Amino acid sequence: MKLLRFGPAGREKVGCIDAAGQLRDLSSAVPHLNLPGLGQAGLKRIARLKPEDFPRVKGSPRLGVPFTGISKLIGIGLNYRDHAIEAGMPIPAEPIVFMKATTCISGPQDAVVRPAGSTKLDWEVELGVVIGKTARAVSLVKALDHVAGYCVVNDVSERAFQLERGGTWDKGKGCDTFGPIGPWLVTRDEVPDPQSLALWLDVNGEKRQRGNTATMIFGVAEIVSYLSRFMTLLPGDVICTGTPPGVGMGIKPEPQFLKDGDVMTLGIAGLGEQRQAVKAQ
C-alpha cells in the first residue's frame, strides 16, 4: 500500500494512492499515521482497507511527511562504490553511520532552505528504510521482518559544513529542510526486493544521478542488522541507505552546487517522486 499525508503543514490528513494512481482520503478510518502508535498490527489493519471505498481528493494538495513518530533519522555514508570513488574517499569496510537531526525533516515538495553561510549545498537521492518493529541485535536473516516499508529521501548536504569545519559529518547534514521524505510510505509487501530499485535525480531538468540499489556495498538487511547492534531501532525510525554517484561535489572538472532558484526532482522506481526548489534563508 502507498500511504501518505496531505494538506497544510500541521493539519495533514491520511491518504493512500489507489491502483489507478488516484489520491484517496483515508482520514475517516485512519486519523493518524503515527508508526509507533500503529506498529505492524496497525499497518496490517490499514492494509485491509479498500481504497475505492474512500473519497478521491481533488486537485494537487501539498504532501507532508508520509508518517509521524520518527525518533531517529540515520544516515549511511559512502554506500555506493562509485560514489565513494567520486568523493575521493576509501571504500568502507563497515557501514559509515551518521545522524541527521529530526528537525531537518520536511515534506517531499517543500522548499529546501539554504542556510546562512552555505557555499556548497549538495543533493543526494537515497532509499529510505522505515522501521516497523523494535529491533535490537537482530540477525541478518530476520532483519527485514523489522521493516515497515520504504520511501524516497533527499539527504541534502552542505559540504563545507560537513567536511571543512572539523568534527563529524552531522553539522552538514541536519540543517532545517535537509531531510525531505516521501511522497509515500510504500509498505514492505509492495517491495519484494529492496536491492533492485532504480534511483534518479535531476537539477533544473539536467541529469545528475542515476543508480540502482543493487550496487549498494551494504544491503538493506545488512544495514538494519548492523545498526541494531549499536542502537535500538524503533517503529518510525528512518535509515537513509546512501546515494549513487552524480552528486555536485563529484562533478568534474569543477564541482557544482545548488543556487537559489534551482529545482531538484528525484525519485525511486515504485516509491514516487519529489520536487524541491532552493531558496535563501
CATH assignment at residue 176:
3.90.850.10
**Does 107 lie in the same domain as 231?**
yes
Give domain status of residue 66, yes or no. Answer: no
Give domain status of residue 64, yes or no. Answer: no
pLDDT at 246: 96
pLDDT tier at 88, thresholds 50, 70, 90:
confident
67 strand-pairing partners: none
pLDDT tier at 86, thresholds 50, 70, 90:
confident
pLDDT tier at 210, thresholds 50, 70, 90:
very high
**Does 120 lie in the same domain as 188?**
yes
Residue 84 scores a pLDDT above 90: no
**Does 143 lie in the same domain as 258?**
yes
**Does 182 lie in the same domain as 144?**
yes
Give domain status of residue 60, yes or no. Answer: no
How far apart (Å, rounded) are the C-alpha atoms in residues 276 and 173?
Answer: 17
pLDDT at 82: 84
Average pLDDT of the residues in 249-259: 95
pLDDT at 18: 97
Going by C-alpha positions, the residue among 43, 52, 64 that lies closest to residue 17 is 52
**Does 78 lie in the same domain as 150?**
yes
Give domain status of residue 67, yes or no. Answer: no
Give domain status of residue 58, yes or no. Answer: no
Residue 167 scores a pLDDT above 90: no
Average pLDDT of the residues in 254-277: 98
By residue range, what is the domain housing residue 44?
Answer: 2-53
* pLDDT per position as a tens digit, 91-128: 899 999 999 999 999 999 999 999 999 999 999 999 99
Q: Which three cell numbers stand for residue 31?
A: 486519523
Give domain status of residue 218, yes or no. Answer: yes
Number of domains present in the structure of the chain:
2
- Residue bearing cell 547492534: 229
Q: Which three cell numbers stand for residue 147?
A: 521493516
pLDDT at 157: 98
Amino acid at 69: G
Average pLDDT of the residues in 148-163: 97
Residue 38 burial (CB < 10 Å; 0-12/13-18/19+)? buried
User: Roughly how many angstroms between the first and final C-alpha of the chain, as a whole number?
Assistant: 36
**Does 13 lie in the same domain as 105?**
no
Residue 254, SS3?
A: coil
5 strand-pairing partners: 14
pLDDT at 2: 98
Residue 12, SS3?
A: coil
pLDDT at 237: 98
pLDDT tier at 89, thresholds 50, 70, 90:
confident
**Does 102 lie in the same domain as 20?**
no
Residue 81 scores a pLDDT above 90: no
**Does 86 lie in the same domain as 29?**
no
Give domain status of residue 65, yes or no. Answer: no
- Sheet with 263-268: strands ordered across: 112-114, 272-280, 263-268, 198-203, 206-212
**Does 171 lie in the same domain as 143?**
yes
Main-chain phi, psi angles of 260, to 5 degrees: -55, 135
How far apart (Å, rounded) are the C-alpha atoms in residues 272 and 266?
Answer: 9
**Does 158 lie in the same domain as 119?**
yes
Q: Which three cell numbers stand for residue 226?
A: 548492523
Average pLDDT of the residues in 46-51: 96
**Does 148 lie in the same domain as 13?**
no
Residue 230, SS3?
A: coil
DSSP state of 92: P
Give domain status of residue 36, yes or no. Answer: yes
Quote the percentage of the chain above a pLDDT of 70. Answer: 100
**Does 119 lie in the same domain as 34?**
no
